[in-house]
Amino acid sequence: MKIKASSADLYADYVSRMRKIADIKNSSALLQWDQETYLPPKGAGFRGQQIATLAEIAHELFTSPDLGNLLEELNCRDDLGDAGKRNVELSLEDFTRQKKFSPAFVRQLSECVSRSFHSWIEARKANSFAVFEKDLSILLDLKKQEAALAGYSAHPYDALLDEFEKGSTVEKLDKVFAQVRDPLKELLDRILAQGPIDDSFLHKWYPRAKQWELGLELIRDLGFDFEAGRQDLSEHPFTTSFNRDDVRITTRIDEYNLANMTWSCIHETGHALYEQGLPAEYYGLPLGEYASLSIHESQSRLWENNVGRSRSFWKYRFALLQQHFPDPLGKSTPEDFYRAINKVQPSLIRTESDELSYHFHVLIRYELEKGLIGGTISVRDIPAFWEESYIKYLSAKPLDDRTGCLQDVHWSHGSFGYFPTYSLGSFYAAQFFATASTGILASELEAGNTRGLLDWLRNHIHSYGRRFTGEELCRKATGESLNTRYFLDYALAKYENIYKLQGNAS
């Protein structure tokens, strides 16, 4: 007579399998991090092969019939406890989705992504979209196949959006952008009718080595644990994590633009603090992973803007800046600096844009991706669509491909559906910060103390891992679903004060 295995034994087997898969995925992630930081140019070909091999192995292990049967059996057990039950439920959801893709397709997609990344790098060097166009076309066809295999009910883009923000659809995003588009455009127009703020001192010479030192101090100040992570340089700033005790961030430095390095450091630190705050006991399991990309972006945008562009944050730290850069900042006041770092001026570069025009950068990419995946826009149309959209929304014409459609790394990673999470993340950030601020005094930030805010985020966001969807987590943390009014009220109050617009609203 066959003895039925206990739930404890089955769950232990599940954990062992999941952690083995996580080890392989994180080994691949380490190779990808190296690819974007230190890989010599000639190593690109073999590196793509190595990453594809690991992706294929991880996929085969995760979609094996044995694991599927184990998940089905565990999902029927009622003695796993809340955390165990939720881990199994989420793993079964992931298994069901990944089972739709063959190992051969996964390998093909991974190899294409590696080729696309390197052709994107070459295209940026050559300042020519044509260099990237062929590989991007192949990658786009594969992403369309992925959407078809994953399945969708309304728009093929929904299948890719769901990968980054569960439950996100074109219908929902169209409504969210409709809620903010006109109010933001009205506020933007009112601001642009005023005289420009002088931020010329931010574009004087800021030595590379001194900027690097400042970045490290800011990152440490915000709570990043350098015993569990590091910072390096890359073409495009990013954060990657192999576990909560090994989180890597990167930045880039422009010696004539202090803002470039400063806020990319703060932004990526927001991501890193989330990763370092995830529960270590759930390594390799869903509850040890982030809730969604919108929630992840909420953490980076909250630290970058709600904190990092606030008066209170720099009231304490402006003296530190002047110590690093006495020549360009010696004659400036904290108020001069606060106004300058919040200057509203439509620009061509998303990562360097102000808080208001930023969302038009995201909207342009959202509309473009929706058309690319839906088949109404072709890859060869991208430069023209990009130019028309920037003129339409921001009255700004791209100077060239590098400052236009080649500025973001996301498509070379195959990350179609990622861009909307930046705006959703900003809206979540404003809502989280408003809620957290009821118990966190501005005087704490003015005194240089961000620990109270980090503790609030650890308790209300980080500690839950993937237990809840982004929308569910928002309701739990703030008492209501995503409400764009928080962001609009925050933006209106902040920029009416900076630009002295009170009473000018139509």
User: Rounded distance, CA 436 to CA 452, Å?
Assistant: 9
CATH-assigned architecture of domain 170-498: Orthogonal Bundle (1.10)
pLDDT in the model for residue 127: 97
Tokens read off for 450: 């961000």
For residue 213, the tally of other CB atoms under 10 A from its CB is: 12
In the Cβ-directed half-sphere of 101, how many Cα atoms lie within 13 Å? Answer: 28
268 is catalytic: yes
**pLDDT of 451-503, one tens digit each?**
999 999 999 999 999 999 999 999 999 999 999 999 999 999 999 999 999 75
CA angle 432, 434, 437 (to 5 degrees): 105
Tokens read off for 423: 């705006």
pLDDT in the model for residue 442: 66
Proportion of the chain in helix, strand, coil states, percent, rounded to 5: 70, 5, 30
- 3-class secondary structure, 316: helix
Spans of all domains in the chain: 7-151, 170-498
> How many residues appear in the chain?
506
pLDDT in the model for residue 448: 81
CA angle 205, 210, 213 (to 5 degrees): 150
pLDDT in the model for residue 3: 63
CA angle 474, 478, 480 (to 5 degrees): 70
User: Rounded distance, CA 358 to CA 186, Å?
Assistant: 14
Look-up of token digits 């439950």: 167
* Contact (Cβ atoms closer than 8 angstroms) between residue 244 and residue 277: yes
391 residue type, one letter: I
pLDDT in the model for residue 149: 96
* Contact (Cβ atoms closer than 8 angstroms) between residue 177 and residue 419: no
Low-confidence stretches of the chain (pLDDT < 70) are 1-3, 441-442, 503-506
Tokens read off for 324: 């690093």
User: Rounded distance, CA 340 to CA 356, Å?
Assistant: 14
Tokens read off for 269: 């630190």
Strand partners, 248: 230, 240
User: Rounded distance, CA 70 to CA 74, Å?
Assistant: 6
Between the CA atoms of 112, 115, 118 and 120, what dihedral angle is there, to the nearest 10 degrees?
A: -50
pLDDT in the model for residue 2: 56
pLDDT in the model for residue 445: 78
* Contact (Cβ atoms closer than 8 angstroms) between residue 446 and residue 426: no
Tokens read off for 162: 């769901």
SS (H, E, C) 83-151: HHHHHHHHHHHHHHHHCCCCHHHHHHHHHHHHHHHHHHHHHHHHCCCHHHHHHHHHHHHHHHHHHHHHC
Choice among 165, 268, 275, 289 that is catalytic:
268
CA 129, 135, 136, 141 torsion-angle sign: positive
pLDDT in the model for residue 505: 43
